[in-house]
């Protein structure tokens, strides 16, 4: 397992790879620690290089869909939520209820919120695109400033510094 610190527009990001897929992308400070970073050694590989290339294009506004092999580790329920998050289009948002309905568990909005908060591959698995049912911005493990920045970036607005 390799980890590389990428200095992005939203601050340092820890990228983790098992050599075949990206296993983690974590903000320097975030609510829940990223388990994919546990035991990882500083290093680099083709997956990490491609992740950095795609992230750079995303932050420039040139990339709307990431194309990387991903291997997030979690429960079956979390994995379903994370897969559903990847269907939220660039520049759009969805509510926790929307995601709960998408995975066939319409009463599981709180559990969806918990799984969203434990997403080990931030930005690429776009947990920042999930908002409250009333359209309000809700918590984000990377901080509300980063969430606002990412949403503004994706909506073609000039984001304020994260």
Q: Give per-residue pLDDT as tens, 128-155.
A: 999 988 888 887 878 889 999 999 999 9
User: Given 30, 60, 90, which residue is the final one in a domain?
Assistant: 60
19 & 81 share domain: no
Q: What is the CATH number of the domain that holds 146?
A: 1.10.10.10
86 & 55 share domain: no
* Catalytic pick among 127, 130, 131, 150: 127
Helix, strand, or coil here: 39? coil
Average pLDDT over residues 50-78: 96
- C-alpha 121/C-alpha 113 separation (Å) is 15
- C-alpha 58/C-alpha 124 separation (Å) is 10
Provide φ and ψ at 150, rounded to 5°. Answer: -65, -40
Whole-structure pTM value: 0.89
143 & 80 share domain: yes
37 & 89 share domain: no
The total number of structural domains in the chain stands at 2
- C-alpha 49/C-alpha 44 separation (Å) is 7
Between β-strands 41-42 and 2-8, what pairing exists: parallel, antiparallel or unpaired?
parallel
pLDDT tens by residue, 14-59 = 999 999 999 999 888 756 666 656 666 778 899 999 999 999 999 9
Q: Which residues contact 135 (CB under 8 A, 6 or more apart)?
A: none
Tokens of 38: 């546990």
Q: Report whether 1 contacts 18 (CB < 8 A).
A: yes
- Domain extent, residue 83, equals 76-154
**Is 34 among the residues known to form the active site?**
no
- C-alpha 62/C-alpha 57 separation (Å) is 5
- C-alpha 72/C-alpha 156 separation (Å) is 29
- C-alpha 88/C-alpha 64 separation (Å) is 11
């Amino acid at each position: 397992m390799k980890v590389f610190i990428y200095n992005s527009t939203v601050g340092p990001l820890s990228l983790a790879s098992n050599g075949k897929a990206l296993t983690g992308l974590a903000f320097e400070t975030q609510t829940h620690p990223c388990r994919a970073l546990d035991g990882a050694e500083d290093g680099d590989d083709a997956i990490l290089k491609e992740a950095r290339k795609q992230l750079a294009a995303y932050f420039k506004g040139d990339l709307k869909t990431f194309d990387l092999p991903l291997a997030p580790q979690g429960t079956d329920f979390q994995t379903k939520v994370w897969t559903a998050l990847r269907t939220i289009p660039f520049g759009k948002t969805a509510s926790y209820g929307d995601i709960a309905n998408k995975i066939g568990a319409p009463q599981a909005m709180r559990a969806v919120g918990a799984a969203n908060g434990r997403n080990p591959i931030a930005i690429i698995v776009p947990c920042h695109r999930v908002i409250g049912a009333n359209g309000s911005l809700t918590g984000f493990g990377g901080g509300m400033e980063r969430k606002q920045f990412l949403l503004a970036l994706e909506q073609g607005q000039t984001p304020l510094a994260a």
